[in-house]
């Protein structure tokens, strides 16, 4: 699986919000990851222009967020989704403001192409995740995608092994228990959490419908940063980000 990473910052979306340059769709064995670092978007006038892309419902949800930073991040997340998806419609120009979304039975957002006429759409999938310092969107064609990003410095308030026993599989708990260094154990716990979150998001079900202890993530022997998904029969694209 090949991954292309692209940054979409204020220099990519100008004040005038010009027509987006169409991009080639990902291949069947490729995932495109787009990201924004909120602290690099400082122009208030630019944020006002971004808000013009949102639907009335999205604008209302942004305004309901508590605090300026949360409102800004919510606005940037919706902008990233709309402009990213609009870039891939190479046969027809799509206005990011015109895009409509729906949710599956578990609440995962999807593009509602039935409400967009005269558009020959590819089977495009997307997923989004964010922290305070990073917003990321994954895009694939033909196969579901799940993405999760976490702060690598995130502290675990609970005892890590006790917490893992509540949510992780027996094999994952056993793996964590073999790590004598508490800091290494914390990092591996977060890494597993990120991968498992990405998996259930790719399923489109969420934590309640796909509990973390029903499947196992294992690192591939002899590799660095590659993992196997065990005890399930799905072939999905999983992507995690540890800042």
Confidence class of residue 6 from pLDDT cuts 50, 70 and 90?
Answer: low
* CB-based burial label for 30 (10 Å; 0-12, 13-18, 19+): middle
Contact 170, 215 (CB under 8 A): no
Number of domains into which the chain is organized: 2
Residue 42 lies in a domain: yes
Please say which residue of 109, 141, 173 terminates a domain: 141
Please say which residue of 141, 169, 197 terminates a domain: 141
More confident residue, 129 or 98: 129
Provide mean pLDDT across the span 208-237: 74
Strands 145-150 and 216-219: unpaired
Please name the residues in contact with 11: beta carbons below 8 A apart, sequence gap of 6 or more. none
CATH number at residue 9: 3.90.470.20
My answer on whether 169 and 137 are in the same domain is no
Provide mean pLDDT across the span 66-84: 94
Say yes or no to pLDDT of 92 above 90.
Answer: no
Confidence class of residue 25 from pLDDT cuts 50, 70 and 90?
Answer: confident
Say yes or no to pLDDT of 60 above 70.
Answer: yes
Provide mean pLDDT across the span 197-226: 83
At 219 the pLDDT is 82
At 8 the pLDDT is 53
Say yes or no to pLDDT of 67 above 80.
Answer: yes
Provide the whole-model pTM.
Answer: 0.81
My answer on whether 18 and 93 are in the same domain is yes
My answer on whether 7 and 100 are in the same domain is yes
More confident residue, 115 or 240: 115
Please say which residue of 141, 170, 204 terminates a domain: 141
Range of the domain at 175: 160-231
Residue 182 lies in a domain: yes
CB contact burial 33-48 (16+ within 10 A = b; e otherwise):
bbbbebeebeeeebbe
Q: How far apart are CA 209 and CA 198, in angstroms?
A: 14
Residue 195, SS3 per DSSP: helix
My answer on whether 89 and 130 are in the same domain is yes
Name the token pair of 78.
Answer: 């919706």
Provide mean pLDDT across the span 113-142: 81
My answer on whether 124 and 172 are in the same domain is no
Confidence class of residue 153 from pLDDT cuts 50, 70 and 90?
Answer: confident
My answer on whether 125 and 168 are in the same domain is no
Digit-coded pLDDT (tens) for 27-49? 888 899 999 999 999 899 989 99
Contact 59, 50 (CB under 8 A): no
């Amino acid at each position: 699986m090949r991954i292309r990473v692209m940054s979409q910052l204020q220099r990519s979306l100008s004040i005038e919000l010009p027509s987006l340059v169409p991009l080639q769709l990902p291949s069947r064995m490729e995932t495109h990851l787009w990201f924004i670092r909120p602290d690099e978007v400082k122009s208030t006038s630019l944020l006002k222009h971004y808000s013009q892309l949102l639907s009335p419902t999205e604008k209302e949800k942004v305004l309901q967020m508590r605090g300026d930073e949360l409102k800004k991040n919510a606005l940037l997340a919706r902008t990233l989704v709309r402009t990213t998806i609009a870039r891939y419609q190479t046969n027809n120009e799509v206005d990011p403001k015109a895009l409509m979304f729906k949710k599956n039975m578990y609440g995962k957002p999807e593009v509602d192409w039935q409400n967009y006429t005269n558009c020959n759409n590819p089977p495009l999938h997307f997923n989004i995740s964010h922290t305070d310092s990073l917003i990321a969107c994954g895009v694939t064609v033909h196969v579901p995608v799940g993405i999760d990003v976490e702060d690598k410095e995130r502290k675990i308030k609970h005892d890590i092994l006790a917490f893992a026993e509540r949510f992780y599989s027996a094999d994952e708990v056993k793996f964590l228990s073999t790590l004598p260094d508490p800091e290494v154990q914390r990092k591996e716990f977060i890494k597993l959490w990120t991968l498992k979150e990405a998996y259930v998001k790719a399923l489109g079900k969420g934590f309640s419908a796909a509990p973390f202890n029903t499947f196992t993530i294992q690192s591939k022997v002899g590799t660095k940063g590659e993992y196997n998904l065990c005890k399930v029969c799905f072939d999905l694209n999983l992507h995690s980000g540890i800042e």
